[in-house]
Amino acid sequence: MAVSAAESVNLTKAIARLAARARDCRLCEHELPHEPRPVFRVEHAAPIIIIGQAPGRRVHETGVPWNDASGRLLREWLGVSDADFYEPTKFAILPTGLCYPGTVRGKGDLPPLPRCAPEWHPRFLKLLNPTLHFRVLIGAYAIAHHLPDHARRPVSDVVAEYEQFAAGGVIPLPHPSPRNRRFLRERPWFERELLPWLRPIIAKILAETANSPRIS
């Protein structure tokens, strides 16, 4: 959706104010095994938002979202460079849980804390909606929160209907964790059909963004 230069400036300022409040969030501090450190990147009115699960340990330590093996594979899936992925006028990055929830030995990271997304996602999406083309939902927790009618369905079944969801501005994807290699092996259509369909869409949106006047 096109917005005027003045509207874009106002949106960018409003998003920056909201992001500052979210970075100071202590809503779940008594439920975390460490000091809260919200990790996300929403600084401008971007056309695509990446909604994942929650920061992992490496992301928590560095403060850089998707700064791990999962992030490298996600960027490969999208067909984008690191520079494009971390350009806030192109991608907003907002996990379902803003803070690293901790790990269970032998089982991986804990689920995102449930109070986080209801507190912050509606506020960010309200500001991003005027310029948003797609919400890219990564994994079961993001799908469950943003597509609640499909929360009990297997992730693979939801992802398989990607074209139908894309018509409504949503792209569901599995989580690109190394733990999900079996998912990809057993579903060759994901790499053979979905990714070649997705990458040109992302490239077109980014090209249009690059050709638009930049507001900061």
Q: What DSSP state is assigned to residue 194? A: I
Q: What is the enclosing helix (H) or strand (E) of 104?
A: strand 103-104
Nearest to 117 by CA among 181, 180, 54, 33: 54
pLDDT digits (tens, 9 = 90+) for 67-114: 999 999 999 999 999 999 999 999 999 999 999 999 887 677 899 999
CA distance linking residue 140 with residue 67, whole number of Å: 20
Nearest to 29 by CA among 102, 91, 83: 102
Q: C-alpha 85: how far from its chain's center? A: 11
Nearest to 143 by CA among 52, 56, 35, 27: 52
The domains of the chain, with CATH numbers, are: 5-210 (3.40.470.10)
Q: Are 15 and 62 in contact (CB under 8 A)?
A: no
Cα dihedral 127→132→134→137 (10° resolution): -20
The amino acid that residue 168 corresponds to is G
pLDDT digits (tens, 9 = 90+) for 149-158: 999 999 999 9
pLDDT digits (tens, 9 = 90+) for 186-198: 999 999 999 999 9
pLDDT band at 210 (very low <50, low <70, confident <90, very high): confident
Q: What is the pTM of this model?
A: 0.93
Counting residues of the chain whose pLDDT is more than 90, the rounded percentage is: 82
CA distance linking residue 32 with residue 158, whole number of Å: 31
